[in-house]
A and B are shown apart, each in its own frame.
Chain A
Amino acid sequence: MTADGNAPHADKGTPHEIVRELFSRFGESPFVLQNTVDRVPTLWVDQSRLGEVLRYLKNTISRPFKMLYDLTAVDERLRKNRFGLPAADFTVVYQLLSIERNADIRLKVALTGDYPSLPSIVGIYQNANWYEREVWDLFGITFNGHPNLQRIMLPRTWQGHPLRKEYPARATEFDPFALTVAKQDMEQEALRFNPEEWGMKRGTAEEDFMFLNLGPNHPSAHGAFRLVLQLDGEEIVDCVPDIGYHHRGAEKMGERQSWHTFIPYTDRIDYLGGVMNNLPYILAVEKLAGIEVPDRVKTIRIMLCEFFRITSHLLYYGTYCQDVGAMSPVFFMFVDRQKAYDVIEAITGFRMHPAWFRIGGVAHDLPQGWDRLVRDFVEYLPKRLDEYQKAALENSILKMRSRGVAKYNTADALEWGVTGPGLRATGSDFDLRKARPYSGYENFDFEVPTATGGDVYDRCVVRVEEMRQSIRIIKQCLENMPAGPYKADHPLTCPPPKERTLQDIETLITHFLGVSWGPVMPAGESSQMIEATKGINSYHLISDGSTMSYRTHIRTPSFAHLQQIPSVIKGAMIPDLIAYIASIDFVMADVDR
């Protein structure tokens, strides 16, 4: 059976290869096929068959789906435009990724009832653990058989599940926050770590383990991140990462802001990525709207994204060196970041969070003289990178400190949902800019740097090489910047091109509605993945034909990367952990959203 989950203009084409394979294995009856704007094969399946289907996709099928890319839920209770989808109060969405096929599949499970439950899939995909905890925390959906279904984003003392539609979004809808002495004591008590809860022993017959709290504020934790270490001397027996100290409710925010006014919130997800965060959101919205942007827009977007890849990687480079013990490189790299910010600021008017991309274009055309600034920068940076190569990367102390530390291979990476440089340091060359070019990356000449060691050092080497490739891309943007408009000529472009505004009463009204209420996006489901600074970042949007999103889900790479920590670091020393954390390259806003 096929349900049309989308507005009529959605592509209905032939079913994907993977759908045919599933139909031939299980028959068509357990599935409902949904058409989506993003053309990701989407199948609804009953929860009783879910485990079987997932096991088949992961283990039995040829060219298997080894990675659980994402797991989330949707509160369907208020959704109006369902176009014949199976009846559901809540939906749990599983998205799998196969590198060998370079393809995705999305499975959806319909649930009924106010607080429904379904079987956990931690036994099939290990990294479902945190995702299921998150869904429980934010939706109140129970996963039977989960090893430790605890709150993950919100404090343990929290009441309610915020992403449910009946839960208020604003803090100002609640009583004003006050920290009383009693509350402080209660919260501190709730933060106390209880090893038994995590299946840990307090000691062996011979010795007691020491439990060390690293964070939530620690100079090497790169933000509000807590790790509880179970130590035997200085050796890490096990550890439990504790996140949620940076949960800004960005997904709930998406249901409150108009399509246009949500853009600034995307900047602050991976706050080192700047406008790179706008890109997946904007591209997903443009798919919903059916907007095709001019070449100039694509090229401007790519150029700025690569600038932010450089600033993010430079910060990584500096803090990485610092965390493994080299104090001075970070000072040089921050000076380079300033140079990059000078260019970014001249073009966009802001440093870290320009929120400069628009639905159907960019906010402003490139200013006169931009090419000189960009040229100066691309000529300046490679020489500096060469110096750092000698001073930092080829430094024998740094090498000895970081080679062979915190190693994992490609199979482990896929098992834990690791993407980006962390995956490419294990030998895989999966880079979305090459594998699934978006926004015009197919027109650029660049290489995908890889390494084979999969250790702390190689993760840094890959990023350094990526900066050189980014410079190559920026140079090509500089030399081949297409002429033309910086906004698409489309009714849903927001804000509309100037010549479509203030001409007569019709254009005046359309413009007024567009900027006050925001554009109305056709109902449907859309998503876009991009190769962000830290790995694969994607937005999954559900429009219910309104001025706001019905559900905005943000898949961030850092969330997956932190979940992997215990599996990599068991048996290592504490300083190795610090080096490992430095090599992951995460920011907490990218973890907790």
Chain B
Amino acid sequence: MEYTLTRIDTDGPRYPQEQREPVRDPMEDQMHRSIFLGKLEDMLKGTVNWGRKNSIWPYNFGLSCCYVEMATAFTPTHDLARFGSEVIRASPRQADVIVIAGTCFQKMAPVVQRLYEQMLEPKWVISMGSCANSGGMYDIYSVVQGVDKFLPVDVYIPGCPPRPEAFLQGLMLLQDAIGKERRPLSWVIGDQGVYKANMPSQRDKHREERMAVTKLRTPDSV
């Protein structure tokens, strides 16, 4: 599997302050070197990732319409607690994921950046809705055309706004990605970069199945 290695670059002139390069799965090399240690580390990383991906605590952060749908996902009909993510944190310091739910404005961007900086590693970013993904229908002077202009986004959820179910799917995709991550087990053990698996595009994955649909439900009856 293809991975992307991300290293923090505190001297970078613009956000996100990081350097990225495509790499192979680092575990493959190590396993070749020593079967016993490789297995052990693989198991250890698997356990840590399992813990991380099933308790992603979101930061209580919303910008606009999308946040209403995100909040809907927390309530009983959709019940985000099933995925271990119901613990909304009011402080960025306690949160694992920031969901950019809504339009990111040029006036708000420095504030979002400050909040993101306050989150502790490991941390992830979900971009929810067209505005956060690309500016969406707001190609207008005050709107940042996609939050990935300054934040490293892990999952993009399309929609304006996305349904709560779409948010749940986005969260599950993030869980899958976290399960394959290779992060240093400690700040003194091993390589300090973050290796993220290059996850397949959902559009490519579902394209055939979607194109095969020929009959759509009529809007004339409920």
| Docked-complex contact A171 and B143, CB < 8 angstroms | yes
* Chain A binder among B48-56, B63-71, B185-193: B63-71
Contacts of B77 in A (CB 8 A): 334-335, 338
Contacts of B64 in A (CB 8 A): 223-224, 246, 268, 271, 587-589
Decide yes or no whether A176 CB sits under 8 A from chain B: yes
| Docked-complex contact B61 and A172, CB < 8 angstroms | no
Q: Separation in Å of the B118 CB from the closest CB of chain A?
A: 11
| Docked-complex contact B107 and A247, CB < 8 angstroms | yes
Given A216-B111, A245-B111, A353-B160, A177 and B149 contact (CB-CB distance below 8 Å): yes
| Docked-complex contact B106 and A155, CB < 8 angstroms | yes
| Docked-complex contact A337 and B72, CB < 8 angstroms | yes
Decide yes or no whether A113 CB sits under 8 A from chain B: no
Decide yes or no whether A191 CB sits under 8 A from chain B: yes
| Docked-complex contact A331 and B15, CB < 8 angstroms | no
| Docked-complex contact A349 and B142, CB < 8 angstroms | no
B 82-116 binary contact with A (CB < 8 Å = 1; else 0): 00000000100000000000010111111101110
Decide yes or no whether B212 CB sits under 8 A from chain A: no
Given A315-B68, A335-B75, A249 and B111 contact (CB-CB distance below 8 Å): no
| Docked-complex contact A171 and B140, CB < 8 angstroms | yes
Given A181-B14, A245-B107, A171 and B76 contact (CB-CB distance below 8 Å): no
Decide yes or no whether B200 CB sits under 8 A from chain A: no
Partner of B137, one of A247, A265, A337, A347: A265
Partner of A247, one of B14, B65, B105, B220: B105
Partner of B109, one of A179, A370, A372, A373: A179
| Docked-complex contact B75 and A331, CB < 8 angstroms | yes
Partner of B161, one of A244, A246, A353, A370: A353
Given A315-B68, A338-B72, A352-B68, A171 and B62 contact (CB-CB distance below 8 Å): no
* A589 to chain B: closest residue by CB: B64
B 168-199 binary contact with A (CB < 8 Å = 1; else 0): 00000000000000000000000000000000
Contacts of A216 in B (CB 8 A): 108, 111
**With A and B bound together, what is the CA distance between A176 and B221 in angstroms?**
46
| Docked-complex contact A589 and B14, CB < 8 angstroms | no
**With A and B bound together, what is the CA distance between A177 and B109 in angstroms?**
10
* Chain B binder among A125-133, A161-169, A465-473: A161-169
* B69 to chain A: closest residue by CB: A352
| Docked-complex contact A246 and B14, CB < 8 angstroms | no
Interface range for B: 35 or more
Partner of A367, one of B76, B106, B138, B220: B220
| Docked-complex contact B161 and A369, CB < 8 angstroms | no
Decide yes or no whether A79 CB sits under 8 A from chain B: no
Contacts of B14 in A (CB 8 A): 178-181
**With A and B bound together, what is the CA distance between A272 and B108 in angstroms?**
21
| Docked-complex contact A346 and B163, CB < 8 angstroms | no
**With A and B bound together, what is the CA distance between A315 and B67 in angstroms?**
12
| Docked-complex contact A223 and B110, CB < 8 angstroms | no
| Docked-complex contact B149 and A219, CB < 8 angstroms | no
* B15 to chain A: closest residue by CB: A179
Decide yes or no whether B60 CB sits under 8 A from chain A: yes
**With A and B bound together, what is the CA distance between A236 and B83 in angstroms?**
41
Contacts of B145 in A (CB 8 A): 171-172, 176-177
| Docked-complex contact A248 and B111, CB < 8 angstroms | no
Q: Separation in Å of the B143 CB from the closest CB of chain A?
A: 6
Decide yes or no whether A187 CB sits under 8 A from chain B: yes
Decide yes or no whether A24 CB sits under 8 A from chain B: no
**With A and B bound together, what is the CA distance between A181 and B115 in angstroms?**
15
**With A and B bound together, what is the CA distance between A335 and B73 in angstroms?**
11
Decide yes or no whether A383 CB sits under 8 A from chain B: no
Given A171-B145, A245-B107, A334 and B72 contact (CB-CB distance below 8 Å): yes
Given A177-B149, A352-B68, A364-B219, A170 and B106 contact (CB-CB distance below 8 Å): no
**With A and B bound together, what is the CA distance between A337 and B71 in angstroms?**
12
Contacts of B69 in A (CB 8 A): 351-352
| Given A180-B13, A184-B15, A264-B137, 15 more pairs with CB closer than 8 A | A167-B141, A169-B141, A171-B142, A177-B145, A178-B150, A216-B111, A219-B90, A245-B108, A248-B140, A271-B65, A271-B68, A335-B75, A338-B72, A367-B220, A588-B64
Which 8 pairs, one residue from A and one from B, show the smallest C-beta to C-beta distance?
Answer: A334-B75, A187-B110, A249-B140, A179-B150, A271-B65, A368-B221, A369-B222, A346-B222
Chain B positions within 8 Å of A, measured between CB atoms, are 12-15, 17, 60-65, 67-69, 71-72, 75-77, 90, 103, 105-111, 113-115, 135, 137-145, 149-150, 160-161, 163, 219-222
**9 A-B contact pairs sorted by A residue (CB < 8 Å):** A169-B140, A171-B140, A176-B149, A179-B149, A188-B114, A223-B64, A244-B107, A248-B103, A264-B137
Chain A positions within 8 Å of B, measured between CB atoms, are 153-155, 162, 167-172, 174, 176-184, 187-188, 191, 216-217, 219, 223-224, 244-249, 252-253, 264-265, 268, 271-272, 315, 330-331, 334-335, 337-338, 346-347, 349, 351-353, 364-365, 367-370, 372-373, 587-589
